[in-house]
Structure 1
Amino acid sequence: MNRSREQIMEKVKEQMPEKRWLHTLGVMETSVRLAERYCADPVKADLAAILHDYCKYWPIQEQANIIKENGLPQDLLDYDKELWHSHAGAFIAQKEFDIHDEEILDAIRYHTSGRESMTLLDKVVCLADYMEPGRDFPGVHNIREIAEHSLEKALIAGFDSTIGFLLSKGKRIYPLTVLTRNDLLMQVSDN
């Protein structure tokens, strides 16, 4: 990595409005706390959280071009634009910040959709994004309570909330999100 944590944070802060920066700070704090609680690497959790929304406020066409031109999953373009920044962000984190740790890149890449067989770091960053202190939506307090005992059950509650919201708005659901939820359900039932 050719930049310090502080330099990366400054660059990220420049890419987003103040409200989103405050969200990012909340995700950083929550990621580290969850990492420490569930024995994930807190340094990796912190870095993935810093970068998780790096491209979120880039022009939509720029995000689409990054996906189209760099071999990223083309099916993303058929679904909600809210998914695009995660894959674009992981790509840019590698190119712009010289981050090559696949665990960190995957945590950025899958923080919105999830994926089957999520790593511990994937789970930590995804869940932190759902439940950081600035989040306020129906059910978030329940997700926070569940997270005290189970990453998987808290993520299921988070994905249930997201899927329910998308259904209520008549939106398409990215298939990987459904597969993720089903995989988490199987993990919980196996315990």
Structure 2
Amino acid sequence: MAERYGGDPERAELAAILHDVAKYWQTSRMEAVIREQGLPADLLLYDKELWHAPVGAFVAEHHFGITDSMVLDAIRYHTSGREDMTLMDKIVCLADYMEPGREFPGVDHIRELSGHDLNKALIAGFDSTITYLLAQGKRIYPLTIAARNDLIVKAREA
């Protein structure tokens, strides 16, 4: 995907390798890193599935010595998105969302969109996530809504 959309394949590969470095940590361990390292405390009010991304960025920087802010941000925002996502943010977020092992309603459509329109595929991914969270009666992380809205505004301006 990085090559298709003009991104840096080496940086994308590094972000892809490290993006889930904290995913299987115990919740208490992720919570401790969030609290002790001054990561956004509001994360603790939302689904734990979000936590591994900012914790993973911390680990990538402080345990693996990654200093490339583009790689770190792609790791940090791969679960939530954000406003003004960089190309690297978009690539890692979308690749993670539709990786081959994932099966959920609409994933094939998102995969199809990803072949020709990165932004439309991301919007569809965020829509799917938001719809799922609404159906589950869960809170939606504000960065996810902001990311979706930002992509929609920019698509209309293009």
In the superposition, the TM-score normalised over structure 2's length comes to: 0.98
Q: 1:108 is aligned with what amino acid?
A: I
In the superposition, the TM-score normalised over structure 1's length comes to: 0.82
Give unpaired runs (5+ residues) of structure 2. Answer: none
Q: 2:25 is aligned with what amino acid?
A: W
> SS of 1:97's equivalent?
coil
- Structure richer in helix, relative to its length: 1
Q: 1:109 is aligned with what amino acid?
A: R
- Cα distance in 2 for residues equivalent to 1:44 and 1:179: 25
Equivalent position of 2:54 in the other structure = 87
- Cα distance in 1 for residues equivalent to 2:42 and 2:103: 30
CA contact (8 A) 1:146 1:153 kept: yes
Structure 2 counterparts to residues 1-191 of structure 1, below 5 A: 34-191=1-158
- Cα distance in 2 for residues equivalent to 1:150 and 1:71: 36
Q: 1:104 is aligned with what amino acid?
A: V
- Cα distance in 2 for residues equivalent to 1:185 and 1:84: 26
> Cα RMSD between the aligned structures?
0.6
Give unpaired runs (5+ residues) of structure 1. Answer: 1-33
- Cα distance in 2 for residues equivalent to 1:61 and 1:135: 26
- Cα distance in 1 for residues equivalent to 2:55 and 2:49: 11
Give the percent of matched residue pairs that are identical in Structure 1 and Structure 2.
64
- Cα distance in 1 for residues equivalent to 2:117 and 2:59: 32
